[in-house]
């Protein structure tokens, strides 16, 4: 499958989305920690962010890439001029025809260049190929940046909430949903 590509400011096709490889695990962990430290400093306990274990995160992402729990799980990376700048992880839901976007992060210094949109489109394309009709993701209630991004892409909160124990204050998340095709079969 050809994944979404775009043109950089120079007009070259130097930005893309592709399936993650074993060699991307360290970069994925870096994007995750930099993004969490920037976006979630006020939401997560300092110990979670400051005591980050780079080796453990890299090992976990390597396993997610090389030995996913099922063939319906996957990790994609956004690449800009050869550098991994973002990633998305996805997998099946317990409900038939539904998949979950488990993570979508773009390192803040690479934001607003279309990487998040390309990742989201690639996950939607792969899900559609598998017969998925609905995608869900969980977003911290206070994460207005992600909420605005998802809303601009046609997602909406569906009324479900969950609360996670962070070791400090509870973290409330809202479930966001998008339909991959409507009644007439056209994508939104």
**Inside any domain, residue 59:** yes
Q: Specify if 43 maps to a domain.
A: yes
Number of separate domains in the chain: 1
Which residues have C-beta within 8 Å of that of residue 184, sequence separation ≥ 6? none
3 state DSSP class of 64: helix
Alpha carbons within 13 angstroms on the beta-carbon side of residue 96 total: 0
Helix (H) / strand (E) element for 146: namely helix 144-152
CA distance readout (Å), 129 to 100, 104, 183: 15, 20, 17
Q: How confident is the model at residue 187 (pLDDT cuts 50, 70, 90)?
A: very low
Report which of residues 96 and 25 the model is more confident about: 25
How does residue 42 score in pLDDT terms, banded at 50, 70 and 90?
confident
pLDDT of residue 1 exceeding 50:
no
Q: Is residue 49 part of a domain?
A: yes
For residue 144, tell me if it sits in a domain.
Answer: no
Q: Please report whether residue 72 resides in a domain.
A: yes
Structural domain harbouring 75: 5-132
In a domain, 172, yes or no: no
Paired tokens of 51: 């005591």
Higher-pLDDT residue of 7 and 103 is: 103
Per residue in 117-152, pLDDT (tens digit) is 999 999 999 999 999 999 999 999 999 999 999 999
- Within a domain: residue 181? no
Does 149 map to a domain? no
CATH number at residue 86: 3.40.630.30
């Amino acid at each position: 499958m050809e994944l979404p590509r775009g043109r950089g400011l120079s007009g070259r096709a130097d930005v893309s989305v592709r399936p993650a490889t074993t060699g991307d695990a360290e970069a994925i962990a870096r994007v995750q920690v930099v993004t969490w430290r920037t976006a979630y400093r006020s939401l997560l306990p300092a110990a979670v962010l400051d005591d980050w274990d780079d080796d453990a995160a890299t090992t976990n992402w390597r396993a997610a890439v090389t030995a996913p729990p099922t063939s319906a799980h996957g990790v994609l990376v956004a690449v800009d001029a050869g550098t991994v700048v973002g990633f998305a992880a996805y997998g099946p839901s317990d409900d038939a025809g539904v998949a979950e976007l488990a993570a979508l992060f773009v390192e803040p210094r690479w934001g607003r260049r279309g990487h998040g949109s390309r990742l989201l489109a690639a996950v939607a394309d792969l899900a559609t190929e598998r017969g998925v009709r609905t995608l869900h993701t969980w977003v911290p209630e206070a994460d207005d940046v992600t909420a605005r991004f998802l809303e601009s892409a046609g997602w909406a909160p569906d009324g479900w909430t969950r609360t996670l124990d962070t070791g400090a204050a509870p973290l409330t998340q809202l479930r966001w949903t998008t339909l991959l095709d409507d009644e007439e079969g056209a994508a939104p």
